[in-house]
Structure 1
Amino acid sequence: MNTKYWTLNPAQLIVSVFALCALAGTVLLKLPIATEKGVSWIDAAFISTSAITVTGLASVDPGSTFTLFGEIVLMFLMQIGGIGVMCYAVLIYVLIGKRIKFKERLLIQQALNQNSLGGVIKLARSVLIYSFVIEAAAALLLSIRLVPEYGFGQGLYYSLFHSISAFNNAGLALWSDGLMGFVGDPVMNIVITMLFIFGGLGFTVIADLIYAKRFRQLSLHSKMMITGTFVINIVAMFVIFFLEYNNEGTLAPLSLWEKAAASYFQGVSPRTAGFNTVDISAIEDPTAFFMMMLMFIGAGSTSTGGGIKLTTFLILLLAAITFIRGKKDTVIFRKRLQETTIMKALAIAVTSLIFICMAIFLLTIFEERDFLPLAFEVISAFGTVGLSMGVTPELSVIGKLIIMFIMFLGNIGPLTLAYTLAKPDQQKIRYPQEDVLTG
């Protein structure tokens, strides 16, 4: 990373690097050695973008389309996309003994979505260590279930692939029906969900949990993420259980244990991972809409998931409650939120809604499908979730390009994209204030 030749700001460079990784993945997946019977350029580009943005939407079946080489390419793309290019750059610098300068630190700060430069190198190192340790441990646990069924070599490989896919919240599976074959399997349900829940909490929260001895010693961000994740997952589990209980296409044919396991799995999956143990195309309309809300909220900052982020949603909710109650300060856990934090959360939510609405509008023009599946697909792409109601393989080229852009947007964040296009504007004039009628 020679800063002498840089002309891009950190946001622009991060976007450029991710775009180049997606392009490199497309070329590698297009190689004859990567596929069983070949794949079109648009499908290679689509699944490469899906892997690098850790989304999981697939226009072709990864397990039957790609060879071992192609699947390994997907694993590397998911790992780079989930952990972050800049974290690997830190690893390279450490290994070769080079000093990380100020501009590189700015890039790492932007990539890890940190508010200050302090501790970003330590955090980047921690991200790599935690990721590799968790993925390796989970792969061993999954091998307990998969090695007896698929043999030692293939069982270990399947365990590693799905461990990486789950922890990085990518949602790509090597089975054509996702994880529907493991709907009641305790090992697969527990290990896979724990992987993407931890991945969705964010690396700062994981580090905080390791070093803090008590809950009150955690940072405000960690407290909000842990509490919010616990509450929203419990609510989601029960909502899906009651909405889908009598649905013959999902929960109705299952035993009570399998109903509970499937409800838990699909309750925690939409905000982060995108794995499925039931047929998503068969879910009821209310369930689809509820999942869309979960996908829009997303995971945590500095996590491997997308969406507007859980803390953003909580900040907006708390700010609205504060305004309704006629109070001045937005307070949580006896801490006051800054106005700039609330404004940033509002900017993220509004910008995200604008892009989502534009994408849905365009898809309704170019795709001859019902509105709900198209809207579900767009929000799944934005949340980098990967759940689909069966729309992805049938999209036109234009439709796939739209979804690719939304996946990219959901991974880098709408504000990061805005920073790449906007020029810094130093406001030199302050205009008079006047009230506007609202509500």
Structure 2
Amino acid sequence: MKKIAKKMTPPQILTFGFLLIILVGSLLLTFPWMHHTQIHVPMIDAIFTAVSATTITGLNTLPTATTWTLPGQIIILMMIEVGALGFMTFAVMLITLTGRQLDLKSRMIAQQALNLQNFSDVHSILEYVLRLSAIIQILGALLLSFDFIPRFGWGQGSYYAIAHSISAFANAGFVFFDAPFSQFSNNTYVLIVTMLLILAGSLGFLVWRDIISKHKKHHFSLHTRLTLTVSAWLIGLGFIGFLISDTLTGTFSHSNGWFNQMIDTLFVAITPRTAGFEIVPMNTISNAGFMTFVFLMFIGGTPGSTSGGIKTTTAGILIAQVWASLRGQDSVRFGERQFSKKTVNKALMLAIVAIIFIFLASFLLSITEKLPTGRGTEYYVFEVVSAFSTAGLTLGLTPNLSGLGKVIIMLVMFIGRVGLYTVMFSVLNVHAQDTHIEYPEEEVLIG
């Protein structure tokens, strides 16, 4: 095993590390005491649940609360935690506890997992990730317990507070209540705490490190400034979009009072960013609201966070590229800084490959799955984008998937979490190749 690991590249180790977690989790979920005796759990559904938990997506073919027993739910929470922080984070923790030092390859794998520019301070960053995530999740559980304990009792309320703090921070979208999460649609306290946990997870650990240490640096890095700017714009545009398309047209009419409607609208604007908590039935959303959902899910969160999608920095770089081209500028700038051509090309390639991948997966689903009456091709596209961005929202397709359909969605969830680049540089064995040959330039007509 050690010889095989030595021959594997960091992207390959990351990819197969996630596969190993999914395999172990799937086997554990098949044990009889992991699910209620009256519920039959096929092997493919156990694998689907393990993939969804490890990729922190939240799409489910079986309802979590009524299918899995407490031990089964704890296994799911453990997979969510490992999937959110990355198995390499826990591997480093074990190495540290045994008193060993990280070798060069371990640092390279951790660098790949957290999207770091260099690996000189990998050890300190991974320790910081563990401490920060533990503090946020404990604080989130404590805040949620103020509502859940009086509502459900000490034992069940405490468990629900811990489970949903983990699920919200990881942007997993798993709900452990017997009733849907929409029971809190008029509970501004629970919604605000959940939103803060979702945002804390989606911003990324490096951004939080920058924010917390600003008093020492006196300025933010370009990565942090771009992340915060794009995130703020996405939340604002999402809020305005849902306000116009659904709040003012009555979709959120169940909310008591204008303040509750504003909080519900803000929650709906934040949760598509890979979180997946649903407080409004998706089949009641307007066409404009549906388009807003797809747009927000496709972009997702921040690199190095618990989110999926093409990421906020990718969207920000592409927007900056378009703006520079419209102004006739050759360089792409943001905040008195300039992006390298390599970074711009990488962002462009990621967006194009993601679009092609989503199209192909939607095409395959249109072959394997039947289209319900009154639904169009958006029924497939929404599910694929939700799986790719690890958002976990559904129009109702996932619970009714065929065997092939489940395999397709599992593959989409896995690639969405591990990352297109990681998969391309590991499974497909793609390597960057430098060439010293230059060809003559020639213009072609555009547009």
* TM-score (normalizing by structure 1): 0.96
Number of the residue aligned with 1:22: 22
Number of the residue aligned with 1:409: 415
| Distance in 2, Cα, partners of 1:214 & 1:187 | 33
Number of the residue aligned with 2:401: 395
Aligned-partner residue type, residue 113 of structure 2: A
| Distance in 2, Cα, partners of 1:305 & 1:196 | 9
State whether structure 2 residue 432 is matched by structure 1 residue 432: no
CA separation of 1:148 and 1:3: change in aligned 2, threshold 3 A = farther
| Distance in 2, Cα, partners of 1:108 & 1:142 | 32
Say whether the 8 Å CA contact 2:299–2:315 is kept in structure 1: yes
Number of the residue aligned with 2:269: 267
Number of the residue aligned with 1:89: 91
Say whether the 8 Å CA contact 1:322–1:330 is kept in structure 2: yes
Pick from 279, 282, 285: which aligns with 2:284? 282
Say whether the 8 Å CA contact 1:197–1:272 is kept in structure 2: no
| Distance in 2, Cα, partners of 1:334 & 1:431 | 32
Question: How far does residue 436 in structure 1 lie from its aligned partner after superposition?
Answer: 4.0
Alignment of 1:161-200 (within 5 A): 161-175=163-177, 178-200=180-202
User: Does the residue aligned with 2:289 lie in a helix, a strand or coil?
Assistant: helix
User: Does the residue aligned with 1:336 lie in a helix, a strand or coil?
Assistant: strand
Question: How far does residue 66 in structure 1 lie from its aligned partner after superposition?
Answer: 0.3
CA separation of 1:247 and 1:74: change in aligned 2, threshold 3 A = farther
Aligned-partner residue type, residue 139 of structure 1: A
Question: How far does residue 218 in structure 1 lie from its aligned partner after superposition?
Answer: 0.9
State whether structure 2 residue 142 is matched by structure 1 residue 144: no
State whether structure 2 residue 432 is matched by structure 1 residue 418: no
CA separation of 1:178 and 1:114: change in aligned 2, threshold 3 A = farther
Aligned-partner residue type, residue 21 of structure 2: C
Question: How far does residue 184 in structure 1 lie from its aligned partner after superposition?
Answer: 1.7
Alignment of 1:261-340 (within 5 A): 261-340=263-342
User: Does the residue aligned with 1:213 lie in a helix, a strand or coil?
Assistant: helix
Question: How far does residue 178 in structure 1 lie from its aligned partner after superposition?
Answer: 3.5
CA separation of 1:289 and 1:177: change in aligned 2, threshold 3 A = farther
| Distance in 2, Cα, partners of 1:92 & 1:238 | 46
Question: How far does residue 215 in structure 1 lie from its aligned partner after superposition?
Answer: 9.2
Aligned-partner residue type, residue 254 of structure 2: P
Greater mean deviation of Cα atoms: 323-332 or 163-172? 323-332
| Distance in 2, Cα, partners of 1:251 & 1:214 | 44
Number of the residue aligned with 2:7: 7
| Distance in 2, Cα, partners of 1:26 & 1:178 | 25
Say whether the 8 Å CA contact 2:297–2:385 is kept in structure 1: yes
Aligned-partner residue type, residue 385 of structure 2: I
Pick from 109, 113, 122: which aligns with 2:115? 113
Question: How far does residue 167 in structure 1 lie from its aligned partner after superposition?
Answer: 0.4
Say whether the 8 Å CA contact 2:81–2:170 is kept in structure 1: yes
Number of the residue aligned with 1:375: 381
State whether structure 2 residue 31 is matched by structure 1 residue 31: yes
User: Does the residue aligned with 1:331 lie in a helix, a strand or coil?
Assistant: strand
Say whether the 8 Å CA contact 2:5–2:13 is kept in structure 1: no
Aligned-partner residue type, residue 251 of structure 1: F
Task: Give the paired residue count.
Answer: 438
| Distance in 1, Cα, partners of 2:406 & 2:134 | 32
Say whether the 8 Å CA contact 1:215–1:223 is kept in structure 2: no
Aligned-partner residue type, residue 375 of structure 1: V
What RMSD over aligned residues (CA atoms) do the two structures have, in Å?
Answer: 1.7
Q: State percent identity of aligned pairs.
A: 34
* TM-score (normalizing by structure 2): 0.95
Question: How far does residue 252 in structure 1 lie from its aligned partner after superposition?
Answer: 2.3
CA deviation digits over 1:243-289, x for unaligned, max 9?
112556x3123232332121110001101211111111221122111
Number of the residue aligned with 2:223: 221
Say whether the 8 Å CA contact 2:424–2:430 is kept in structure 1: no
User: Does the residue aligned with 2:425 lie in a helix, a strand or coil?
Assistant: helix
Question: How far does residue 106 in structure 1 lie from its aligned partner after superposition?
Answer: 0.4
| Distance in 2, Cα, partners of 1:173 & 1:23 | 23
CA separation of 1:5 and 1:21: change in aligned 2, threshold 3 A = closer
Greater mean deviation of Cα atoms: 66-75 or 113-122? 113-122
Question: How far does residue 4 in structure 1 lie from its aligned partner after superposition?
Answer: 8.2
CA deviation digits over 1:153-209, x for unaligned, max 9?
111100000000000110101135532000121221111110110100000001111
Aligned-partner residue type, residue 380 of structure 1: S
Question: How far does residue 3 in structure 1 lie from its aligned partner after superposition?
Answer: 7.3
| Runs of 5+ consecutive residues of structure 2 not aligned to the other structure | none
Say whether the 8 Å CA contact 1:32–1:38 is kept in structure 2: no
Greater mean deviation of Cα atoms: 55-64 or 38-47? 38-47
CA separation of 1:223 and 1:428: change in aligned 2, threshold 3 A = closer
